[in-house]
Every structure is written in structure tokens, then in C-alpha cells.
Amino acid sequence: MNKLWGGRFENKIDLDIEIYLNSFDIDKYLFFYEIKVISAHIKSLFLCNYIDIKEKNKLLNSLFLIKNNFRKLNVEDIHSYLEIELTKYNGDLGKKIYIAKSRNDQITTLNRLMLLDEIEKINILLIFIRKSIINLSENEFNSPVPGFTHLQIAQPITLGHYLLSWNEMLKRDHINLLNCKKITNFCPIGSAALAGHNYKINRNIVKKILNFKYITENSIDAVSDRDYIVIFSQFCNILIMHLSRICEDMIIWSSNKFDFLKLSDKISSGSSIMPQKKNPDLFELIRAKTGRVYGNSINILTVLKSQALSYNKDNQEDKESLFDNIYTIKNTLNCFRKCIPILKFNKKNMYLSTLKNYSTATDMADYLVKKGLNFRDSHKIVGNCIKYCEKNNINFFNITLKELKTISNLFEKDVFYFLSIEGSIKNKNIYGSTSPNQVLKSIQRAKFFLNNIILKFK
Ligand code: ARG
């Protein structure tokens, strides 16, 4: 096998061990970025007078050919691949460019460039998803649905308000992604193996050509740092956890018992034995992706733990889990994005469920507070009303004023508005709450924040 080293070796490496150490099978996926980095390096060697214009053009032309003729070679890694190809096309000139860089600063530069591109794609998916969530909540700003705590019907809310809670989760994910972009946007080229190099090359040239925002500050840290992968994996962890919660709700909502959501054929699958079945497989699978994403995060943290500074071969193990996370998250978001516009809510059932479990009992207590009673005593009185309804098998919403008066003479006719679903929802007219009026205001802010982050990504 052609190698970039070997001068001091007397014996050949064991074949199994050589294969074990090679990384070409995984880093070949970074081929495109290797070409980009080497091309920037060639331009910078020219601008700093290490090669002349003819040499530069010859090298760049050959890079173009190499890029379009990727072939399977038995090589150690993607850097060896390119060096072999450049030498094949340019003879000794190909070897001339291997100054002022090392595989150590190169590989982390490829990772960063690739990740920045992928962050951009994930950003676009998040924008799309958040826009459709906001649109949907605008349509449903006034639709009642029970809100749950402990998975028990707690209080009536608006569906629009519920959907905006998804947007909030994804808003934080979006901010985390932006932060990840900031941390990744540093160019390590020029750090070489760990100490920098002996050539007069302005590092800003390569940084600029590669479109990085900054150059890394410390060469030792630059070749050993993989924090950007950790931070990306943390972004993935929280995002997939959020999606798993959303999907869990949709699984529950689409269950026959709840029947809040009608599963569209586009996102469901059937059973091979039970002809009647339609299962929420997509939501279940998204929920399960949490396992591999959390696993990928443990992988990178463990690879990095206790590594002596600076670069170690351990870092070669950073890629599979990074690639897997990128693939999983993009694929998941792409499928999730398709669900939102086709979510079909069973609004009648949602409304009927708001009438269960004394969902406006808190409003009744608040009513008594408004009449001058303290909350603890009001709470007790409402508790007595519920006891009364249960004992006499009376629907909470059908209780008469006469009956209420037997429990407390503070009740008047106006209590029924407080008790109604509509009244309960409308009365939650406080910043960030569920009243349709507040939901419409939240939607305006949601749109504003979304536009804001779109600008920050530019
Ligand atoms: N395959 C290595 C990696 O992925 C590239 C850097 C190798 N450097 C070295 N000194 N062996 O990290």
C-alpha cells in the first residue's frame, strides 16, 4: 500500500492491523472537502510565493480531474489518496505542495467544513417545520382541546397554543444549532501537526477561501479539539428528545381511546395480519431514534475523555457517530416536516374531551376569589361541588345555580361563564397563555423570532 510515511520503518505492518488502522472507508465521504481544502492550500502557496502561477494552474487543473474521477484505491486515508493522485498527475510538483500542513489540521478542517454545510441544511429544515407549525397554530388559534398534566385532563386550552409549544422547543433547538455553527466556524489549517509550521503563510488566506469566519487561536488545541462535534451532538440530543415528546403525544392522540388525531395514509403503515390496523409507525420510529442519537453523543464524549493533548489516533473515531447523527437528524426532520401540514385533528372529540374531568374546576375557584374569598377556601368549596356532582351523578356543566348556592352563597349567575370552556379559555388572557387573543399575539412574536434567527444564520 502507498503510504505517506515509512522512511524509518524496517518491517512491514501486519496486514490485519493495517486494515484496522485505515480510515479511508469512512473519510472518503469527506473527499469533496479534501479537494476544497487542498485547492485553497495551493492558492495560498501561490499567493505566498511558494509556487509560481504555472504550477498553481497545473495543480488546480489536475484537482479538477481528480475530483471528477474518484476511484477506489487501497490507501490509508483520504489525505493519502489525494497526495497519490496529485503526484500521479503532476509528478514531483504534486509532492511540492505538502508543506505547511499536516493530516492533523486537515482532518478537523474537513469535519468542520462538512458540518457547516450540514448545519445549513438542518437550518432550512427547521425553518420549514417552524413555519408550518406557526401556520397550523394560526388556523387553530381558537380550537379547544384538553390540556394534560400527568396525562389526566387538566384544563381546556387552545390547539393553537398547544402547537406553539412545539415551536418553542424547536426555537431553542434552532438557537443551539446557531451556537454550534458559531463554534464550528473556525479554520484550523496552519496548525499543522500541533506546533504550527515554519513557512511564511498568512493563515487568513485559506480561511477566506474556505469561507470560515475565524482562524483557530492555538495550534495544540486546534488539532485536538472536537468540541464542535460534542456541541452538535448535544443539539441533536435535545432536538430528538423534543421530537420524541411531540411524537409520543401524536401516538396517544391517534390512539382509538383518545381519537384526537386521524392518521393520514401518507404517514402510517398497516399490519400484515390485522387488516383493519393503521399504525403510527413514523411517530414511533422517530421516538425510537432517540436511542441512537444519545448513543452517538456518548460515543464522542468517551472518545475525547482523558485524551492527552494534542492529537491522538482516537480522534479518527469521531466520524461514524457524527455522520450517523447528521443522517438521522436530517432524515427525521424531513419526514417530520411532511406530517405537519397533513395533521388531521378530530376537533369535535377534542372539544367533547374538554368537558371531562371537571376541566374548569380551577376557573370556578378563581371565580370565588374574584368574589372576595381566599384561594384555599375557594379550592375547598369547588372540591365540595365536585363531590356533590359525583354523589348525585350530575354533569359538572349541568349543575344549577340553586344547587351551587347550597354549597356557597357566593355563587351567582355569572359563574356559568367562568365554568364554560369558552369562558375558561378566554379568561386566560395573560402573556404566553392560552386565550385566542394571546395566541394571536404569540404567533406574531413567533414569526418575529423566526425571522430573526433566519437573519442570524446568514
Ligand atoms: N485518519 C485520521 C483521522 O481521521 C487523519 C489524521 C491522521 N493523523 C495522524 N497523525 N495519523 O483523524
- Give backbone dihedrals phi and psi of 145, rounded to 5 degrees, phi first: -150, 150
Å from CA of 110 to ligand 1 middle: 12
Residue 236 has pLDDT above 90, yes or no: yes
C-alpha cell at 169: 422547543
Cα separation, 440 vs 104, whole angstroms: 53
Residues 172-182, mean pLDDT to the nearest whole number: 98
Chain center to CA of 416: 45
Concerning whether 297 is annotated as a catalytic residue, the answer is no
Residues 322-343, mean pLDDT to the nearest whole number: 96
Å from CA of 24 to ligand 1 middle: 10
Q: Is the dihedral of CA 10, 25, 193, 95 positive or negative?
A: positive
C-alpha cell at 238: 435535545
Chain center to CA of 76: 33
Å from CA of 304 to ligand 1 middle: 15
Q: Which of 33, 34, 103, 323 to mutate to test the pocket of ligand 1 (most atoms within 8 A of CB)?
A: 103
Residue 292 has pLDDT above 70, yes or no: yes
In this prediction, residue 13 carries a pLDDT of: 82
Nearest CA to ligand 1 atom 2: 316
C-alpha cell at 220: 495544540
C-alpha cell at 453: 434567527
295-315 per-residue burial string, b: 16 or more CB within 10 A, e: under 16: ebbebbeebbeeeeebbeebb
Å from CA of 103 to ligand 1 middle: 6
Q: Are 42 and 51 in contact, with CB atoms under 8 Å apart?
A: yes
Domains of the chain plus CATH, in order, are 15-99 (1.10.275.10), 104-138+158-188+218-349 (1.20.200.10), 353-443 (1.10.40.30)
Å from CA of 104 to ligand 1 middle: 6
Cα separation, 304 vs 312, whole angstroms: 10
Q: Which of 44, 150, 255, 420 is catalytic?
A: 150
Averaged pLDDT score across all residues of the chain: 95
Q: Is the dihedral of CA 413, 419, 425, 428 positive or negative?
A: positive
Residue 322: how many other CB atoms lie within 10 Å: 23
In this prediction, residue 270 carries a pLDDT of: 76
C-alpha cell at 277: 390496523
* CA-based nearest residue to 300, from 236, 235, 233, 241: 233
Q: What is the DSSP letter of 189?
A: T
Cβ-based burial of 216 (10 A; exposed 0-12, middle 13-18, buried ≥19): buried
Residue 306 has pLDDT above 90, yes or no: yes
Q: Which residue has the higher pLDDT, 115 or 266?
A: 115
Question: What percent of the chain shows pLDDT beyond 90?
Answer: 89
Q: Which of 44, 271, 378, 442 is catalytic?
A: 271
pLDDT in tens, 336-388: 999 999 999 999 999 999 999 999 999 999 999 999 999 999 999 999 999 99
Q: Give the strand pairing for 152-158 and 186-187.
A: unpaired
pLDDT in tens, 85-96: 999 999 999 988
pTM, to two decimals = 0.94
Residue 170 has pLDDT above 70, yes or no: yes
Residue 47 has pLDDT above 90, yes or no: yes
Residue 52 has pLDDT above 90, yes or no: yes
H helix intervals, 140-158: none
Nearest CA to ligand 1 atom 3: 316
Residue 389's alpha-carbon distances to 364, 386, 394, in angstroms, are 14, 5, 5
In this prediction, residue 182 carries a pLDDT of: 98
In this prediction, residue 97 carries a pLDDT of: 86
Cβ-based burial of 108 (10 A; exposed 0-12, middle 13-18, buried ≥19): buried
Q: What is the DSSP letter of 317?
A: G
Cα separation, 323 vs 300, whole angstroms: 12
Residue 135 has pLDDT above 80, yes or no: yes
3-state DSSP call for residue 402? helix
Nearest CA to ligand 1 atom 12: 316
Concerning whether 150 is annotated as a catalytic residue, the answer is yes
Q: Report residue 12's pLDDT band, with 50, 70 and 90 as the boundaries.
A: confident
Cα separation, 97 vs 209, whole angstroms: 17
C-alpha cell at 142: 381558537
In this prediction, residue 273 carries a pLDDT of: 74
* CA-based nearest residue to 278, from 245, 251, 246: 251
Å from CA of 55 to ligand 1 middle: 28
In this prediction, residue 1 carries a pLDDT of: 66
Q: What is the DSSP letter of 276?
A: T
Q: Which residue has the higher pLDDT, 270 or 158?
A: 158
Residues 64-71, mean pLDDT to the nearest whole number: 94
Ligand 1 proximal residues by C-beta, below 6 Å: 23, 27, 77, 103-104, 107, 313, 315-316
Q: Which of 76, 107, 194, 317 to mutate to test the pocket of ligand 1 (most atoms within 8 A of CB)?
A: 107
Residues 267-282, mean pLDDT to the nearest whole number: 79
Chain center to CA of 233: 9
Cα separation, 457 vs 178, whole angstroms: 7
Residue 73 has pLDDT above 90, yes or no: no
Ligand 1 atom nearest to 23, measured from its CA? 1
H helix intervals, 371-435: 375-392, 401-407, 415-419, 421-427
Q: Which of 6-15, 45-54, 333-342, 364-373 has the lowest mean pLDDT?
A: 6-15
Q: Are 133 and 114 in contact, with CB atoms under 8 Å apart?
A: no
